[in-house]
Structure 1
């Protein structure tokens, strides 16, 4: 890691390419590491929308060609859509995050009590002044496996970092909140210390709003050295994807053992606005039917329920035959996403690590191979 190298991509005219790196630099170029990047932060792999092309990743094959070289081929290009994607931002109140250490006996219980007391007290002060209540409150006790939700296996932690994030329409209200943090260290539970950065700062909360606009409503031109040149757009078409996606083969045999997913696959996750994706790549093609049998969208909803919006959260799954992988899109799973989210993981970077612990039913002979 100390001298990790950036990948080098050598592209041929037919769209095939090889990924390698400078000899002697750190890192690993393998089929699995490159496949992780292939599935990173995408939605439907059959229709990855770019400004000038729609790319179909589903049939891309990866072949190791040397210690640190992987060849990719099989991508397909479709005409661009007849719409542009527009990303706009707008202000939506203010946010403030306070972090501090709470250590000692019953640290988790004390941290929960202190956090709730701060919210209750400041909420009363808001009410007395005729101010609106908090728009959103997010309390996470880092070190207690807070990001794992119901799957946390925390013991009796003796130290946690309290991360208390709040949102409010008024900056004045959050300035009051920030002022109340310091007195908790002297007036509430013992062991509260290490307020990160001193008194917390109030920031504007900026939200992203993305939408589509017909290209026919836009005129495209390039300005160069004082001259304006009209640009003729390439042919485009409405985005069409297969109505029925391809599904992996059903597993053959009896599943009489269980192993964690990490034994069978690698995975990587990231954000798409307020959505997150988790790409799961089988370590061997024979493992994929068992992975697919276990990881249905319904199972993912249950396993990741603690991050999904209770009303608008849903999960969609796609199969990529070329790379022996699955891609899951967790819609509305990031609490607003990016800088709008109050969570410690606003981009879903740790979601794949949580999923890798899920048990997968497999035949005993596969389990024996992995021990």
Structure 2
């Protein structure tokens, strides 16, 4: 534990695939104590599980290694500590890959690995307990490809206390990457729930990167300039749990009470009972104060005892899926798009029948440019250019090969106007589905 009055933490990644330039921006201009990277969403683990099916050494976010490599010398010289859930479903592989890069650079950085979230081996116990999906009530699949509990901040804090410069985790709640350093730096007790709630809120505010600095903002027109150089978020946290949200100087974006408020409300369900493994948070009386340009002070979060359960995100292999996307133009393009898409499906179903194959498990058709997302409220009857997206699933990979072979023929065999097939002939891939339980 140090005696710092405030701790500055910047977030350089909101998801796997976020810009690699954020870390450079924050390391060089953020005056940071900590740099955190959040890579994991629920379906990210499905993607990583799919990658590991093809390559046992995969299953983590290689972007983390590539991004850190040119910055490691600056990180060491500036004394910045790094925390990330880049480990995905192969945290040990991620840590070993980074350790190799650190060694090659001749640097002295201690890497800590947090494991324990991988619960695949406990599947027989889950089956015996008759675990069901917490949203759909569906029974546990016979075989899981991954199962990861959302761990909390204690392991991150313990790793820092043990001398880690870089902490790599598997699945932890996003806020743990910020709460762990704060508990370590300030020596907070694990039953000081109000401070834990404030620290978790600080993590929640910056976990989605530029969503709190003007990106993805409802009043986007207020972000006058800077989308090309969006500033990534920084929280400067005090020992009492209060914190100020900002971004590096000379970067684009906007930090206002409105941008921060939108992020606070993002993906939390009941704001009076935001459930985390470390604390149950009550955000109803959070106060936001604009204390300077692009600086918002946040106070007022309260906390209570957490539940005695962890959320688990599991993935399972459920057949195969294939996607086809093609562009279609001309008068009545929207109507033509629907007719062509449904004709392709019917044509393939006829082939299935002749070959003795079962029907599709699922068919999804979207005509983009015709207000498909508005459903029954769509009002776009005169579109002259659309993109048709088709997604299908089947238990038999051969059946989806048939589907892929029947897409191109639509260019000459059906209504006129197909101007291009995106990505060429579609190929089937494994269909990984999410299964969540406590």
Distance 2:331 2:356 in 1: 39
- Give the Å deviation of 1:177: 0.2
Using the size of structure 1 for normalisation, the TM-score is 0.56
In the other structure, the counterpart of 2:196 is none
Distance 2:243 2:398 in 1: 55
Paired positions, count: 212
In the other structure, the counterpart of 2:271 is 45
User: Do structure 1's residue 203 and structure 2's residue 425 form an aligned pair?
Assistant: no
SS at match of 1:141: strand
- Give the Å deviation of 1:162: 0.7
User: Do structure 1's residue 70 and structure 2's residue 296 form an aligned pair?
Assistant: yes
In the other structure, the counterpart of 2:362 is 136
Q: Map of 1:1-371 to 2, 5 A cutoff?
A: 1-212=227-438
Distance 1:208 1:138 in 2: 18
SS at match of 1:186: helix
SS at match of 1:207: strand
- Give the Å deviation of 1:29: 0.2
Distance 1:148 1:133 in 2: 28
In the other structure, the counterpart of 1:259 is none
Distance 2:263 2:378 in 1: 28
CA deviation string 1:175-216 (max 9, x = no partner)? 10011001111211111121001001211111111111xxxx
CA RMSD in angstroms, aligned pairs only: 1.0
Q: Which has the higher helix share?
A: 2
Distance 1:62 1:201 in 2: 50
Which is worse superposed, 42-51 or 19-28?
42-51
CA deviation string 1:319-349 (max 9, x = no partner)? xxxxxxxxxxxxxxxxxxxxxxxxxxxxxxx
Distance 2:298 2:427 in 1: 47
- Give the Å deviation of 1:80: 1.8
Structure 1, gaps ≥5 residues long: 213-371
- Give the Å deviation of 1:50: 1.5
- Give the Å deviation of 1:173: 0.6
Q: Which has the higher strand share?
A: 1
Distance 2:295 2:377 in 1: 38
Using the size of structure 2 for normalisation, the TM-score is 0.48
Distance 2:318 2:283 in 1: 36
CA deviation string 1:6-47 (max 9, x = no partner)? 111011112111101112110000000000110111111111
SS at match of 1:182: coil
In the other structure, the counterpart of 1:242 is none
SS at match of 1:83: coil
